[in-house]
């Protein structure tokens, strides 16, 4: 009977595929790449995949790691969150990779996390995020809120004398959390409640007329006003266009964004954006030898002189460098050894200075504020003195102000409650 | 009235409380009239399909409706069977049952069966199943889910198969029947529900002469214990079966009577036979 | 400050000529100018202030160039250079002599950077210098842009200018400025009262703020009262204009919906074909605009007009192709058509991704479409929205005419009403179908051109609009263009009036739910087709 | 296991030549083999089936169940629902909420009452619709009730006012789209875009242990077989015949006296519940549920699984779901961008050239053979359902 053939056929072929994998030998160090190459997130994530491949290639040119060649294993979770968990498992069990570089959105990370902790994997997460997490198996090389949002607010407050605040964001966890933190922070700084306006919009929101006009009237109350934007990817272009059209220039109401980088700018008409701000740990325009080398290497690798670099790429770069150093220090790719070796690693930022890996698996990095120029690049107008240590648990959220992450003995816990002296919910 | 009396009233043993009575009222035909159609009006944006139409069908008669296209024959049937709602007018089944406030299913369950212009049978089902589905039975969901054919229903099906002469094809898919056979099957489905009133729309369309004759026989045999209303263009066929003929024209009754009366009726000759002798 | 941008925009052309007029650098300013080239960004402000005080209006050209970010200097000679960007090429010319320096390359020059602080200052300074500008409009804007910070020296400037001023409107603006100043600084309560009286009728936000301050914390009761009454007047007006504004937003959203849906109203409404690839037809139109701008970088101003017919053709042809290859084979099987066209939409999206990267593409807005016209300080309508409303209605009318008057329209209606009859009449129905589908898709393409001005041009552009457009068509009643029109505007306005109350997310949800319920009540939409045709 | 098998054997005897019985047997055998190979075989053995494969298979089976749900209403009643993902997701959320509550104070904030996402959006107490979800039976009830009720409401409104065909499809799409938007909202209290994740255990069994996974997988397989058989049975009753009758001639069915809307509503509810169950089994196996599941695209994809397998043949839907998803897994691994092309092409080609899907093909081929042998008693009756 046909069906029987079909089914058994499937069963067999699956069996086969399993075998073929488990037969692989481990004479190379496998580097898993878990970035969406299709679907909505492909826009941002393919860049990071290429970055990792570039780093791997470079490392191999240098003779690999521990005398072995690195081998990148690329999978495509297709911007489908459950697939991130599945593909993580595939990388860990079928391909048996020694480390994973991947994820962009928080939800994808949260989807992959349980699998990582179950199989005790190692992942480097290179994107700025809302914090409130520290896993034994993840290193967060992107910015935590206190490495992006809070310095940005400080800059606006102190240098531009902003008195009134619009916190505009897309309605998902990163903006929600960031805005909660900022709200608490601003209030702590003595900003009155009526001087804070919070607004959330759906993903890919394209009709900004009313919101922008609200912002406009909110901003015409005589006090200097600024917009802190956690608006996500696609919604930005219409937002800035509307700002321009309603005659709001960067001198009147500057907008500081946390998710608009060189890559995003390359996709839009910068005319209405000039003078608006972004806060990152890295800008392509920063002049340093390391950066120039990186940029030229990138352009060479992609074979496209117009390709830009951005902050998550630097985060990937730092993460990769640190991982190689840690592996060399530990002399093995064993996760636990590498995890311990990672802590305290130092490597050069592309923007100069050293990045330092803290006990909470977050980096210490400098924070830069840039003004958007008409060529789609950023002009650094302010930067922190020295580096800012990433804070896994915000001090401005009631839920997490008592929590710290410390992965060194004796605590070695991702969410250690300093009051109750307890450590809850670890998946290992 | 005192409470005591009320309670007594309620408690009377020779009465059933209204909510206990079964509401499947029978058709009250005390005046021999089965179907009252009065002052029916219906217009599709501008075009008047039915224009103050009055029609009375006696119980057990066989009535033919004739009329040019757009005279409103089919529309009338649609209204009676609840397919389309009319703008104004009344349609009563017997003395008491107002059809206008019922939907197709209810009307069908009251015992009004309809056969469409072009045969509509369930092509994906066997002849058998087609008949089974149209059995007169409780048609609500749960009973249908649990329903099984009992012997006497089985006999009934056999009997109908006999009548419509599809005994041999009982296991064939209705879709694979010939056009004529489909017409027959559809009539058969009507019979299964054993209705009081059959509305038959162009039964012999696309039939061979023999088939036509058999249909004629069948319909005439049905008349009597059932009431049959036939819409037909084929004058020969009409002549062969008709006792009373009603001529519709532009949505209202033009003339009514025996075939001969009709043929000698002046305005009929003008508007209908005149056009298509 | 916003007016400044406008000024600069319109003066970009004048730039060179004015700079020619500019006096060649005097001994006094030489060291300052030199310093300007060396000083760090956050130290530049004092230098500029000094320049303004010493040189005054002579610095106009310099400031404007700097504000536009066109101010450079030659690395070795350190002389100041104005850059004139023409789409691709950049020409340099000496800021003062105005001579064109063709031999200079990007390597030899460096930009003098500006940041918001400087832009702000430059704006005011330019405004101060332009109080005596020949063009009255410029003068007015200059005055208004100074409202926000009326320093004593600014006021003296305005006062002097006021004496010479001829134009009525500019005089009013200046009076407001002076009154504002008095209301803020006058010692005598009577003077402040007078000032408040003078301010009456002005809707400037600064006036409102000033009045609020007075109403809250002015020593004299009478002043507080007067301010309060003035304030109330403004608020009343504000309310009214706010309403008008919202209505406009609603209409513009409606027009977008209309554009997106109208093509569908034909393919779905007239032909009964569910074209899930409709959104991608819009996307194709948008990408056509992008390509046009890519091909003709120097004609951004006209690019849209070129794009419209092209987009129509591109999407139209795509539509005809789809009809020929797929849809006609699925005739009378609407659900299958739905699936097939959905497949096509996937393919088209992926195609775009591979041809022009998955990144959004940049489509520039021509100047005549950016900015807004200001009816009064409280009410200003954005130009691009205005144009799009007009455009949508235009397209709608044309379509109506095509369907009512042309032979194609006649055939289309015939086929849509009774296919077999039309066949019998000798109408080549398959050809008509192809044309109809082409028409519908073509119009979707045109919509794409318009949308490229509002939102991202990316592979997901279509997806964002497909469901909305279906909602509009179904809500309006299939096969009824007027229904589509009404539906589009109703939904648009409704959405915009719910939004302030519930927030954007909930608003869109509510609208959806409303439609779902509405369709249960009226399965055939607002304007259903009646009669046998509908069966 | 064996007893079960024999049960189904005996069933197959009752069920005559239906395609269902042999399929169920094959399905259960494969399940049994896979799971025992996972549990009994040592890691390095050639026959070892990795947990990855088990979860993958489990996922496929959930999808298959979903496809079954769609086939029941589309294949047999002609109702094309483009919103079945919604019922799937709702069932999933119900299960997710239970699993969330199971975490208890092992969340990162160690809050015994509130799930983590509520803590950092600093909610004070549990919203009413989360109450009682820590009881397994309540959750399971919700898995059935929530999709069922939604389906009933929607169906009751839609079918009573005779919204049919394309309109209905578009409305269902609007429905799932509206749900998508609302579940994205954090105020809804379902974790917004992140959804529910980081589950620990179910009924006290550690979700990460192989045993639990295999058990879940087996349960899914049994559930699928059960529902498959049940649906087949239902379709053989007179109710089923009425359903098909409605598909082929709704007005006819009305004129015979059937309240077609009621039939449609109840079938819709049944189908929605199957979808809900599928979702509930899906969540613990993939370990996350988030609003993405509501996206209209997903729902349309389900339809194509059914179309590929062959609608109106329950088995076909299941096979279609498994094949397409297997292809997807393989394809995306080889050439990510190619997948959408392939999927799109599949949509077009199947609708154009394979209207009856694979099962249609199989049936045709079988007919050929039978014609040669030229005896075909019951085959036609079978066609009746195809």
pLDDT band at B256 (very low <50, low <70, confident <90, very high): confident
Q: How far apart are CA A347 and CA A323, in angstroms?
A: 10
Greater model confidence, A250 or B31? A250
Enumerate the β-bridge partners of residue A125: A140
Pick the more confident residue, D275 or D185. D275
CA atoms within 13 A of residue C95's CA, in its CB half-sphere: 23
The domain boundary, picked from C63, C98, C132, lies at C132
Nearest CB to A268 within list C119, C362, C382: C362
Confidence class for position D385, pLDDT limits 50, 70, 90: very low
Residue of chain D with shortest Cα separation from C338: D166
- Where is pLDDT greater, at A401 or A424? A401
pLDDT in tens, A263-305: 888 767 777 788 899 999 999 998 888 999 999 999 999 998 8
Residue A267's pLDDT is 65
State yes or no: cis peptide before A252, omega within 30 of 0: no
CB contact under 8 A, C343 and D340: no
Residue A201's pLDDT band, with cuts at 50, 70 and 90, is confident
Domain stop point among C98, C132, C166: C132
Higher-scoring residue by pLDDT: D51, D147: D147
**pLDDT, tens only, C105-139:** 777 787 787 777 788 888 888 888 877 778 888 88
Beta strands, E only, chain B: 33-44, 47-58, 62-66, 88-93, 97-98, 112-115, 197-201, 227-231, 244-249, 252-257
Contact B47 C530 (CB under 8 A): no
CA distance D74 to chain C (A): 10
**pLDDT value for C534:** 36
Confidence of residue A319 (pLDDT cuts 50, 70, 90): very high
Give the confidence band of B22 by pLDDT, cuts at 50, 70, 90: low
Where a domain ends, among C67, C97, C132? C132
Q: What is the pLDDT of residue C17?
A: 40
pLDDT value for B25: 55
Average pLDDT along chain C:
82
Cβ–Cβ under 8 Å, residues C157 and C131? yes
The pLDDT score that the predictor gives to residue C444 is: 93
Same domain, C45 and C179: no
| Neighbouring subunits of B (3+ Cβ pairs under 8 A) | C, D
DSSP for residue C104? -
CATH number, residue D185: 1.10.3470
List the alpha helices (DSSP H) in D257-378: 260-286, 296-309, 314-334, 336-353, 357-373
| D14 pLDDT higher than 90 | no
The verdict on residue C141 lying in a domain is: no
Residue D43 has pLDDT above 90, yes or no: no
Confidence of residue C19 (pLDDT cuts 50, 70, 90): very low
Give residue D15's pLDDT.
Answer: 37
Mean pLDDT along residues A200-213: 86
Find the closest chain B residue to C533 by CA distance: B44
Cβ–Cβ < 8 Å for C254, C493: yes
Span C60-84, mean pLDDT?
81
Strand order, beta sheet including C89-94: C89-94, C80-86, C71-74, C109-111
Flag whether pLDDT at B14 surpasses 70: no
| Subunits in contact with chain C (3 or more CB pairs closer than 8 Å) | A, B, D
Contact B189 D256 (CB under 8 A): yes
Out of A206, A234, A381, the one facing C115 most closely (by C-beta) is A381
pLDDT higher than 60, residue C309:
yes
Q: What does the pLDDT read at residue B224?
A: 78
- For residue D291, give its domain range: 2-385
In chain D, residues with a C-beta closer than 8 Å to the C-beta of A26 are: none
Chain B residue with the nearest C-alpha to that of D237: B145
Most confident residue range from B123-127, C228-232, D217-221: D217-221
Q: Which of residues 133-162 of D touch A (CB under 8 A)?
A: none
ipTM, interface predicted TM-score of the complex: 0.84
Instruction: Answer yes or no: do B45 and C530 touch at CB < 8 A.
Output: yes
Decide which of A234 and D253 is more confident: D253
Residue C3 has pLDDT above 80, yes or no: no
The reply to whether C277 falls in a domain is yes
Task: Tell me what pLDDT residue C532 has.
Answer: 42
Would the pLDDT of B46 be above 60? Answer: yes
Is there a single domain that holds both residue C271 and residue C390? Answer: yes
d(CA A343, CA A359): 6
For residue D136, give the nearest of D280, D315, D336 by alpha carbon.
Answer: D280
Contact D347 C508 (CB under 8 A): no
Q: If pLDDT is split at 50, 70 and 90, which confidence band does C199 have?
A: confident
Is the CB of A271 less than 8 angstroms away from the CB of C370? yes
B83 part of contact set with chain D, CB < 8 Å: yes
C-alpha R_g of chain A: 22
Q: What is the pLDDT of residue B118?
A: 78
Contacting residues of B for D237, CB less than 8 Å apart: 144-147
Chain D residues whose CB is inside 8 A of the B133 CB are 238, 241-242, 245, 253, 256, 258
C340 part of contact set with chain D, CB < 8 Å: yes
pLDDT of residue C2: 45
Q: Which chain C residues are closer than 8 Å to A46 by Cβ? A: 358
Q: What are residue A34's DSSP bridge partners? A: A75, A102
Distance CA C208, CA A42 (A): 48
Per the structure block, which two tokens stand in for B118?
């072009």
Given this model, what pLDDT does residue D364 score? 83
**Higher pLDDT among residues B239 and A362, named by residue:** A362
Does residue C182 surpass a pLDDT of 70? yes
D80/C508 CB distance under 8 A: no
C379 shares a domain with C320 = yes
Is residue C29 predicted with pLDDT exceeding 80?
no
What D53-58 contacts at long range (C-beta under 8 Å, 24+ apart), as own/partner pairs, is D53/A14, D53/A18, D54/D210, D54/D213, D54/D214, D54/D217, D55/A86, D55/A89, D55/D213, D55/D217, D55/D285, D55/D286, D56/A14, D56/A86, D56/D329, D57/A14, D57/D31, D57/D217, D58/D213, D58/D216, D58/D217, D58/D220, D58/D281, D58/D285
Q: DSSP code of C334?
A: H
Q: Which of C98-112, C496-510, D370-384 has the highest mean pLDDT?
A: C496-510
pLDDT > 70: what percent of chain A? 93
Tell me the nearest-neighbour CA distance from D137 into chain B, angstroms. 26
* D321 within 8 A of D60, measured Cβ to Cβ: yes
Q: Are B71 and B268 in contact (CB under 8 A)?
A: no
Q: Average pLDDT, whole number, for chain D?
A: 85
- State pLDDT tens for residues C249-266: 999 999 999 999 998 888
- CA B108 to each of CA B42, C327, D262: distance values in angstroms, whole numbers, following the listed order: 22, 39, 16
pLDDT of A25 reads 45
pLDDT of residue C261: 92
Residues C370 and C502 in one domain: yes
DSSP state at residue A92? I
What is the reported pLDDT for A425?
61
Our answer on whether B and A touch (3+ beta-carbon pairs < 8 Å) is: no
- Nearest CA to B67 out of B229, B246, B266 is that of B246
Q: Which token pair is C485? A: 């029109």
pLDDT per residue as tens digits for the range C81-93: 888 776 556 778 8
Ordered domains of chain A (ranges, CATH): 149-257 (3.40.50.2300)
Contact yes or no for A234 and C360 at CB 8 A: yes
Of A149-158, A380-389, D71-80, the least confident: A380-389
Tokens 């950016």 found at: C370
What is the pLDDT at residue C529? Answer: 65
**How far apart are alpha carbons A104 and A174 in whole angstroms?**
12
**Cβ-defined contact of A254 to C116 (cutoff 8 Å):** yes
How far apart (Å, rounded) are the C-alpha atoms in residues A55 and A36? Answer: 18
Task: Extract the runs of DSSP E, i.e. beta strands, from chain D.
Answer: 196-197, 201-202, 205-206, 288-289
Q: Touch between chain A and chain D (3+ CB pairs, < 8 Å)?
A: yes
- pLDDT average, residue stretch D36-50: 84
Instruction: Identify the domain containing residue C166 by its residue range.
Output: 147-239
Which of A:72-131 have CB within 8 Å of C? none
What pLDDT is recorded for position B19?
59
Check B122 against D252: CB less than 8 A apart.
yes
Q: Do D110 and A422 touch (CB under 8 A)?
A: yes
**What does the pLDDT average to over A193-212?**
88
CB A36, CB A109: distance < 8 Å: no
Mean of the pLDDT values across residues D74-97? 94
Residue partners of C174: CB distance under 8 A and separation at least 6: C143, C158, C161, C162, C165
Note the pLDDT of residue C28. Answer: 62
Question: What's residue C530's pLDDT?
Answer: 52
Q: Find, in chain D, the residue whose alpha carbon is nearest to that of A118.
A: D208
Kindly determine whether residue B124 and residue D384, on different chains, have CB atoms separated by under 8 Å. yes
Position D246 scores a pLDDT of 92
Output the pLDDT for position C27.
62
CB neighbours of residue D262 within 10 Å: 19
Average pLDDT over residues D294-314: 90
Query: How many residue pairs from chains A and C have C-beta atoms closer than 8 A?
Result: 140
CB-nearest partner of C2 from A222, A238, A252: A252
Determine, for residues C353 and D346 on separate chains, whether the beta-carbon distance falls below 8 Å: no
Tally the domains of chain D: 1
Give tens-digit pLDDT for C474-495: 888 877 889 999 999 999 999 9
Q: Is B69 on the interface with C (CB under 8 A)?
A: no
Mean pLDDT score of chain A, rounded to an integer?
86
Pick the more confident residue, B85 or A318. Answer: A318
Question: What pLDDT was estimated at residue A360?
Answer: 92
Domain extent listing, chain B: 29-273
**What percent of chain B is modeled with pLDDT above 70?**
90
Q: In terms of Cα–Cα distance, which of C387, C298, C7, C6 is closest to A244?
A: C6
Q: Nearest-CA distance from C354 to chain A in Å?
A: 11
CA atoms of B80 and B84, how far apart (whole Å): 8
- The CATH architecture assigned to B29-273 reads 3-Layer(aba) Sandwich (3.40)
pLDDT tens digits, one per residue of D99-130: 999 888 888 787 888 888 888 777 888 889 99
Instruction: State how many domains chain C has.
Output: 3
Which of A200, A207, A260, A273 to probe the C interface (max C CBs under 10 A)?
A: A207
Percent of chain A with pLDDT over 90: 49
Between residues D66 and C216, the one the model is more confident about: D66
Is D80 near chain C, with CB under 8 Å?
Answer: yes
Chain A residues whose beta carbon lies within 8 Å of the beta carbon of residue C359 = 43, 263, 266-267
């Amino acid at each position: 009977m046909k069906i029987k053939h079909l089914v058994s056929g499937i069963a067999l072929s699956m069996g086969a595929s399993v075998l073929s994998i488990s037969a692989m030998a481990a004479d190379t160090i496998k580097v898993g790449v878990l970035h969406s190459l299709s679907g909505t997130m492909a826009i941002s994530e393919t860049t990071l995949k290429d970055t990792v491949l570039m780093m791997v290639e470079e490392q191999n040119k240098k003779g690999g790691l521990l005398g072995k060649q690195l081998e990148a294993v690329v999978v495509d979770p297709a911007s489908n969150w459950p697939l991130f968990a599945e593909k993580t498992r595939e990388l860990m069990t079928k391909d048996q990779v020694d480390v994973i570089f991947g994820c962009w959105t928080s939800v994808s990370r949260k989807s992959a996390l349980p699998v990582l902790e179950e199989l005790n994997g190692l992942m480097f997460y290179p994107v700025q995020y809302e914090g409130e997490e520290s896993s034994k198996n993840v290193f967060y090389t992107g910015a935590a809120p206190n490495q992006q949002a809070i310095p940005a607010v400080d800059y606006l407050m102190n240098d531009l004398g902003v008195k009134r605040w619009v916190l505009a964001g897309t309605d998902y966890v990163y903006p929600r959390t960031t805005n909660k933190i900022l709200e608490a922070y601003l209030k702590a700084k003595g900003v009155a409640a009526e001087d804070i306006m919070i607004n959330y919009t759906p993903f890919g929101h394209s009709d900004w007329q009313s919101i922008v006009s609200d912002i406009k009237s909110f901003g015409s109350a005589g006090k200097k006003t600024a917009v802190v934007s956690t608006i996500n990817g696609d919604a930005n272009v219409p937002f800035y266009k509307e700002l321009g059209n309603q005659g709001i220039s960067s001198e009147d109401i500057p907008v500081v964004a946390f998710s608009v980088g060189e890559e995003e700018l390359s996709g839009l008409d910068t005319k209405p954006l000039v003078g608006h701000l972004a806060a990152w740990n890295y800008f392509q325009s920063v002049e340093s030898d390391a950066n120039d080398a990186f940029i030229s290497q990138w352009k060479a690798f992609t074979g496209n002189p117009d390709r830009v670099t951005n902050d998550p790429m630097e985060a990937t770069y730092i993460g990769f460098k640190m991982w190689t150093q840690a592996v060399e220090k530990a002399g093995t790719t064993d996760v636990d050894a590498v995890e311990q070796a990672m802590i305290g690693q130092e490597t050069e930022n592309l923007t100069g200075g050293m990045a330092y890996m803290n006990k909470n698996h977050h980096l210490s990095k400098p924070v830069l504020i840039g003004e958007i120029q008409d060529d789609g690049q950023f002009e650094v107008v302010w930067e922190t003195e020295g580096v800012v240590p990433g804070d896994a648990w915000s001090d401005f959220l009631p839920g997490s102000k008592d929590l710290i992450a410390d992965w060194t003995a004796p605590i070695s816990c991702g969410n250690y409650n300093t009051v109750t002296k307890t450590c809850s919910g670890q998946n290992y | 009235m005192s409470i005591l009396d009320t309670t007594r009233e309620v408690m009377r043993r020779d009465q059933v409380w209204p909510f206990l009575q079964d509401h499947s009222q029978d058709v009250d035909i005390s005046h021999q009239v089965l179907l009252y159609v009065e002052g029916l009006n219906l217009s599709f944006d501008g075009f008047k399909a039915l224009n103050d139409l009055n029609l009375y069908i006696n119980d057990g008669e066989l009535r033919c409706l004739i009329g040019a296209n757009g005279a409103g024959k089919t529309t009338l049937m649609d209204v009676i069977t609840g397919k389309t709602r009319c703008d104004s007018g009344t349609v009563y089944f017997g003395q008491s049952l107002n059809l206008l406030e019922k939907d197709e299913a209810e009307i069908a369950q009251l015992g009004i069966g309809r056969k469409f212009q072009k045969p509509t049978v369930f092509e994906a089902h066997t002849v058998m199943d087609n008949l089974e589905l149209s059995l007169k039975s409780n048609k609500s969901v749960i009973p249908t889910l649990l329903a099984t054919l009992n012997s006497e229903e089985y006999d009934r099906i056999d009997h109908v198969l006999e009548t419509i002469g599809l005994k041999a094809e009982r296991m064939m898919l209705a879709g694979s029947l010939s056009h004529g056979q489909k017409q027959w099957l559809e009539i058969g489905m009507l019979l299964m529900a054993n209705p009081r009133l059959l509305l038959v729309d162009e039964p012999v369309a696309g039939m061979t002469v023999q088939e036509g004759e058999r249909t004629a026989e069948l319909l005439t045999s049905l008349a009597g214990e059932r009431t049959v209303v036939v819409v037909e263009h084929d004058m020969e066929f009409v002549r062969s079966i008709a006792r009373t003929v009603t001529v519709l024209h532009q949505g209202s009754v033009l003339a009514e009577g025996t075939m001969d009366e009709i043929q000698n009726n002046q305005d009929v000759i003008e508007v209908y036979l005149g056009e298509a002798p | 400050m916003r007016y400044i941008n406008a000024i600069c925009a319109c003066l970009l052309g004048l730039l060179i000529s004015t700079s020619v007029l500019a006096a060649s650098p005097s001994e006094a300013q030489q060291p300052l100018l030199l310093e300007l080239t060396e000083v760090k960004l956050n130290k530049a402000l004092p230098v500029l202030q000094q320049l303004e005080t010493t040189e005054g209006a002579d610095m106009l050209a310099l400031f404007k160039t700097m504000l536009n970010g066109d101010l450079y200097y030659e690395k070795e000679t350190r002389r100041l250079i104005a850059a004139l960007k023409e789409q691709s090429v950049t020409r340099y010319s000496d800021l003062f002599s105005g001579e064109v320096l063709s031999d200079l390359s990007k390597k030899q020059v460096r930009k003098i950077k500006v940041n918001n602080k400087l832009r702000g200052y430059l704006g005011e300074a330019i405004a101060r210098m332009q109080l005596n500008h020949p063009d009255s409009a410029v003068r007015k804007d200059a005055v208004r842009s100074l409202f926000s910070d009326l320093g004593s020296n600014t006021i003296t400037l305005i006062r002097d200018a006021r004496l010479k001023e001829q134009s009525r409107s500019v005089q009013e603006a200046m009076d407001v400025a002076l009154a504002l100043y008095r209301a803020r600084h006058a010692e005598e309560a009577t003077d402040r009262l007078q000032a408040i009286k003078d301010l009456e009728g002005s809707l400037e936000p600064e006036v409102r703020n000033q009045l609020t301050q007075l109403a809250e914390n002015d020593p004299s009761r009478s002043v507080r009262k007067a301010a309060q009454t003035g304030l109330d007047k403004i608020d009343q007006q504000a309310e009214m204009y706010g309403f008008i504004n919202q209505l406009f937003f609603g209409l513009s959203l409606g027009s977008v919906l209309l554009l997106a849906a109208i093509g569908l109203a034909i393919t779905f409404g007239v032909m009964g074909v569910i074209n899930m690839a409709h959104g991608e037809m819009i996307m194709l139109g948008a990408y056509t605009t992008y390509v046009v701008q890519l091909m003709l970088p120097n004609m951004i101003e006209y690019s849209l007009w070129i794009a419209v017919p092209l987009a129509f053709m591109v999407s139209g042809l795509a539509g005809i192709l789809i009809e020929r290859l797929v849809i006609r084979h699925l005739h009378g099987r609407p659900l299958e058509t739905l699936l097939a066209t959905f497949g096509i939409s996937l393919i088209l999206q992926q195609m775009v991704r591979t041809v022009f990267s998955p990144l959004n593409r940049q489509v520039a807005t021509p100047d005549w479409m950016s900015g807004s016209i200001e009816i009064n300080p409280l009410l200003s309508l954005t130009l691009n929205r205005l144009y799009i409303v007009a455009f949508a209605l235009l397209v709608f009318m044309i379509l109506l005419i095509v369907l009512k008057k042309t032979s194609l329209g006649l055939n289309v209606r015939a086929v849509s009403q009774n296919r077999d009859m039309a066949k019998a009449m000798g109408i080549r129905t398959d050809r008509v179908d192809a044309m109809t589908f082409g028409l519908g898709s073509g119009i979707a393409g045109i919509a794409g051109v318009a949308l490229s001005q509002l939102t991202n041009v990316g592979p997901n552009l279509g997806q964002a609009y497909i469901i909305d457009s279906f909602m509009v068509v179904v809500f309006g009643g299939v096969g009824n263009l007027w229904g589509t029109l009404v539906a589009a505007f109703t939904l648009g306005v409704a959405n915009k009036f719910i939004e302030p109350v519930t927030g954007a997310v909930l608003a869109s949800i509510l609208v959806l739910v409303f439609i779902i319920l509405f369709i249960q009540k009226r399965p055939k939409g607002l304007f259903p087709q009646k009669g046998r045709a509908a069966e | 296991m064996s007893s079960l098998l024999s049960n189904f054997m005996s069933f197959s005897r009752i069920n005559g030549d239906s395609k269902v019985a042999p399929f169920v047997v094959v399905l259960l055998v494969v399940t049994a083999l896979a799971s025992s190979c996972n549990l009994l075989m040592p890691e390095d053995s050639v026959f070892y089936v990795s947990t990855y494969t088990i979860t993958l298979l489990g996922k496929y089976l959930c999808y298959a169940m979903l496809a079954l749900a769609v086939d029941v209403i589309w294949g047999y009643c002609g109702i094309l629902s483009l919103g079945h993902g919604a019922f799937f997701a709702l069932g999933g959320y119900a299960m997710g909420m239970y699993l969330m509550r199971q975490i208890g104070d092992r969340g990162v904030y160690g809050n015994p009452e509130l799930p983590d996402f509520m803590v950092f959006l600093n909610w004070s107490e549990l919203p009413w619709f989360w109450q009682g979800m820590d009881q397994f039976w309540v959750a399971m009830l919700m898995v059935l009730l929530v999709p069922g009720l939604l389906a009933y409401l929607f169906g009751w409104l839609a079918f009573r006012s005779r919204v049919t065909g394309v309109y209905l499809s578009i409305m269902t799409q609007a429905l799932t789209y509206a749900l998508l938007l609302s579940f994205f909202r954090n105020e809804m209290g379902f974790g917004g875009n992140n959804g529910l994740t980081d589950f620990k255990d179910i009924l006290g069994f550690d979700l990460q242990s192989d045993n639990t996974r295999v058990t879940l997988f087996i349960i899914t397989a049994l559930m699928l077989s059960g529902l498959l058989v049940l649906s087949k049975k239902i379709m053989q009753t007179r109710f089923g015949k009425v359903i098909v009758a409605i598909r082929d001639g709704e007005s006819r069915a009305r004129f015979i006296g059937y309240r077609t809307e009621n039939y449609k509503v109840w079938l819709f509810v049944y189908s929605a519940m199957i979808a809900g169950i599928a979702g509930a089994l899906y969540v613990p196996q993939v370990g996350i549920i988030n609003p993405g599941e509501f996206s209209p695209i997903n729902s349309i994809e389900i339809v194509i699984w059914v179309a590929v397998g062959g609608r109106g043949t329950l088995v076909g839907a299941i096979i279609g779901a498994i094949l397409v998803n297997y292809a997807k897994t393989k394809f995306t691994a080889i050439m990510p961008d190619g997948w959408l092309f392939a999927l799109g092409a599949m949509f077009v080609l199947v609708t154009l050239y394979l209207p009856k899907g694979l099962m249609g093909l199989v049936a045709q081929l079988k007919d050929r053979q039978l014609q040669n042998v030229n005896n075909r008693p019951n085959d036609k009756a079978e066609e009746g359902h195809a």
